[in-house]
Structure 1
Amino acid sequence: MNKRLKWVANPHARQDRDKFPLHFLGREEIKKVRDFHRTFPQYDPTPLRSMSELAAYAGVAGIYVKDESYRFGLNAFKVLGGTYAIGKYLAGRLGLDISEISFDSLKTGEVREKLGNITFTTATDGNHGRGVAWAAQQLGQKAVVYMPVGSSLIRMKNILATGAEAYITDLNYDDAVRLAAENARKSGWVVVQDTVWEGYEDIPTWIMQGYATMAAEALEQLKQCGVDRPTHIFIQAGVGSLAGSVQGYFASIFGASRPITAVVEPEKADCIYRSALAGDGKPRKVGGNMNTIMAGLACGEPNPIGWRILWDYSDAFISCSDCLAAKGMRILGNPLGGDPRVVSGESGAVTIGVLIEIMKNENLKPVRDLLKLDRNSKILIFSTEGDTDPVNYRDVVWDGKYPSFDCESELPEE
């Protein structure tokens, strides 16, 4: 029995058959997204860190970590999705294409007068809501943010600091989404959420496109490191919008030669893993409070668009214990040799924790073989957040919370 992770292969991902179309995540579409993001005064590509010492320790050719703690000064990647979705929505209200507007143009008095007062609302564990609230503040609009039970007070205070309303509810994440949607319906607000339900597809699609700016940056930066294509990507999933965005972008660029991709989730909120395990292509749900350390991934209902992309193109799905997220935080925060330090939060660091566990635990050789991980592997990792909850970050990295030798549960191998 493995205490730390379980996995399931996706054998049909490499089969030649009809797959979910990826044109909306293709190179030309994402160029439009990046061009819009480039109009932000705060825009700069976040660093891609080459962890050569860690790669040697793991027995692979390269490990490259995209460090999103620098994104727009907000310490997480999520702002990419919210800002692009809001931009697309406002462009539509103005009868314009996204290529015809800039972030600054949306702040002008003339445009403000045309748009009137708008309230954007969302549910979030913190990072996405902060991005939406920040964008609303910058544009002189209002935001109302709902957070699931157990959310970090520090993350809520960061949202409140933008001038938004923010509330920690007694609901889990998915029910907080329903609360936001219901209040929006009653009050005429605009929901900015990265999951899909009947009649609500455009904004989640735009959010996924916004996330792809990060993937496009990473590919350019890899080429600057002499890597034309990563052999592997480890990507974390909540509802699957981020994972679907990254998977879809790389699959659209590389087709059949795309990187081998592993999708990683917390065991207490592993709706994507359970959907893959069922084997019929239909999404599955996880209920309850989902009280994982990985708050940003504590989502129980897959985004149907993200799920379809992952089901059609991803090679394996991994469900893991919280201790591997903590291990990843400690690895990145205490680098080997001359490797750069990366401050990575719980949801950001889980993929590095899982990767190192797979490479160094002999009981996990079947996973290494499944994913074809060896000394020629060049692996791309996305550290999606910094220490967005600094107290918990110190509890883990300084004080050893969630130690690697004391995982919380026994997870059977699949």
Structure 2
Amino acid sequence: MLFSNPHATREAYPESLQHIMCIKQADESRRWLSTWNQLSATATPLWDLVDLAKQLNVGQICVKDESVRSPLGSFKALGAPIALVRLILRLFPQKNFNPQALLAGEYRDQLGSFTAISATDGNHGRALAAAAQSVGCRCVIVLHANVSVEREQAIAAYGAEIVRITGNYDESVERAATLARENQWHVVSDTSYEGYEVIPRDVMQGYGTIAAEIIEVSETSRHAGHPFTHLFVQGGVGGLAAGLVSYFWERYGADRPIVVMVEPVQADCLYQSALKGRAAHATGSVDSVMAGLACGETSPLAWKFLSESVDHFMLINDSDAVGAMRLLAAGSGNDVPVVGGESGVAGLAGLINLVGVPAHAEKVGLNKNSRVLVINTEGATAPSVYEELVGESAESVQQRQQAWLRIHKPC
């Protein structure tokens, strides 16, 4: 299913949005995170999938590989930590905390009674737990019924206290908010709701690091304007897309790439938002193998950025994601094998799906000259699930990747 957004614009980045998120703040967040020991000291790879581009009859496909951003296994390592740091700085201005020293744990003796709480599908909670452990504060994570035990254990490994509920993700968000009110804890969520926008803004701003790295690597391209013509990005509540698109939009204005939003058919909150022209709820069961995208309600704050910057919205099936996981893992003579998690491959799955319908490809302007960017947002954050779906362990794929790299060079 494909819907072309009638409200998409090629105008310059609006000043009203720049007051909320801007490149200056994103770059500041990047500097603060640069010394955190849970992040890679170097930029994540931008892989050039030459064979796949030929197969799909497009000019170029590059995959920004966030699976190796951090031991945490996903791009969320850029959002939760910076939001926690900025929250603490706002709450304790008289302390004059240094942001990088906070993440190094130098003020843990002053933050032992401070508690951060959040609901999660897995990756955000894991990143928040790791950040809280580094800072030296307490962390409580609320998990809904569909979060696997494997993901729960990965979060608990960073010292977080786990609260389990029987409902879905949106109900876990409500439970986290209730517990925060009752106990005077502080919600560090990656989705906004009425009266709660500052922290989700900080989370989204952290994702600007991904855009900055892409620009640094690819701006030497001979192409005018943005080095990519298309960006296929996965949905969820919209935070990642807002963080990326706002950065590209401010930097390139009318030359920003064509943006295609990709979601599971059963978690279509952004698709429904586009249809209705406002932040809306999903119409499906919100139960997808793409666990990180199994969100039932669009972040109203993210929608402020996406409503005019996403050109097309599309839906994919779980089987499309599994097929893309296997394709990335397989690699080829010219394409490096990559560990892409269930949610991580959604953008690529959307591209493959769309190219398979010529009328849709034409509608979004995909052709042999198109330069396509996708983001692999996670690795095997649930290793047993990954192995079951791909038929090969993540470790095995990584070994084949290293063998490939010995005779090839990345994009």
Same fold (TM over 0.5): yes
Q: In structure 1, the residue corresponding to 2:118 is in which secondary structure?
A: strand
Distance in 2, Cα, partners of 1:226 & 1:39: 33
Distance in 2, Cα, partners of 1:196 & 1:166: 22
Do the aligned partners of 1:244 and 1:309 also contact (CA within 8 Å) in 2?
A: yes
- Equivalent position of 2:2 in the other structure: 7
Distance in 2, Cα, partners of 1:225 & 1:97: 45
- Equivalent position of 1:91 in the other structure: 89
Distance in 2, Cα, partners of 1:377 & 1:248: 21
Do the aligned partners of 2:23 and 2:208 also contact (CA within 8 Å) in 1?
A: no
- Equivalent position of 2:378 in the other structure: 385
Shift of 1:343: 0.2
Q: Does 1:294 align with 2:287?
A: no
Distance in 1, Cα, partners of 2:117 & 2:134: 15
- Equivalent position of 1:402 in the other structure: none
- Equivalent position of 2:153 in the other structure: 157
Identity of aligned residues (%): 38
Distance in 1, Cα, partners of 2:256 & 2:84: 31
Do the aligned partners of 1:81 and 1:208 also contact (CA within 8 Å) in 2?
A: yes
Shift of 1:175: 0.7
Between 53-62 and 35-44, the greater mean CA deviation after superposition: 35-44
Q: Does 1:240 align with 2:238?
A: yes
Shift of 1:147: 1.3
Distance in 2, Cα, partners of 1:115 & 1:314: 40
Shift of 1:90: 1.5
Between 11-20 and 194-203, the greater mean CA deviation after superposition: 11-20
The higher-RCO structure (CA 8 Å, 6+ apart) is 1
Q: CA RMSD in A?
A: 2.1
Q: Which runs of 5+ in 2 are unaligned?
A: 393-411
Shift of 1:374: 0.7
State how 1:111-190 maps to structure 2 within 5 Å.
Answer: 111-190=107-186
Distance in 2, Cα, partners of 1:243 & 1:210: 12
Q: Does 1:213 align with 2:214?
A: no
Do the aligned partners of 1:25 and 1:212 also contact (CA within 8 Å) in 2?
A: no
Shift of 1:289: 4.8
Q: Does 1:326 align with 2:319?
A: no
Pick closer, same or farther for the CA change 1:113–1:21 going to 2, 3 Å.
same
Do the aligned partners of 2:268 and 2:284 also contact (CA within 8 Å) in 1?
A: no
State how 1:1-400 maps to structure 2 within 5 Å.
Answer: 6-14=1-9, 16=11, 21-41=17-37, 42-44=39-41, 45-95=43-93, 101-107=98-104, 111-223=107-219, 229-278=227-276, 281-286=277-282, 289-359=285-355, 361=356, 364-398=357-391
Do the aligned partners of 2:116 and 2:187 also contact (CA within 8 Å) in 1?
A: yes
Report the AA paired with residue 9 of structure 1: S
Pick closer, same or farther for the CA change 1:107–1:39 going to 2, 3 Å.
closer
Shift of 1:69: 1.0
Using structure 2 for the length normalisation, give the TM-score.
0.89
Do the aligned partners of 1:230 and 1:380 also contact (CA within 8 Å) in 2?
A: yes
- Equivalent position of 2:396 in the other structure: none
Shift of 1:16: 5.0
Between 266-275 and 137-146, the greater mean CA deviation after superposition: 137-146
Do the aligned partners of 1:37 and 1:43 also contact (CA within 8 Å) in 2?
A: no
Q: In structure 1, the residue corresponding to 2:139 is in which secondary structure?
A: strand
Report the AA paired with residue 248 of structure 2: F
Shift of 1:112: 3.3
Q: In structure 1, the residue corresponding to 2:262 is in which secondary structure?
A: strand
Pick closer, same or farther for the CA change 1:97–1:212 going to 2, 3 Å.
farther
Distance in 2, Cα, partners of 1:15 & 1:260: 10
Do the aligned partners of 1:328 and 1:351 also contact (CA within 8 Å) in 2?
A: no
Between 145-154 and 178-187, the greater mean CA deviation after superposition: 145-154
- Equivalent position of 1:411 in the other structure: none
Shift of 1:104: 3.0
Q: In structure 1, the residue corresponding to 2:207 is in which secondary structure?
A: helix
Q: In structure 2, the residue corresponding to 1:73 is in which secondary structure?
A: coil
Pick closer, same or farther for the CA change 1:96–1:301 going to 2, 3 Å.
farther
Q: In structure 2, the residue corresponding to 1:376 is in which secondary structure?
A: coil
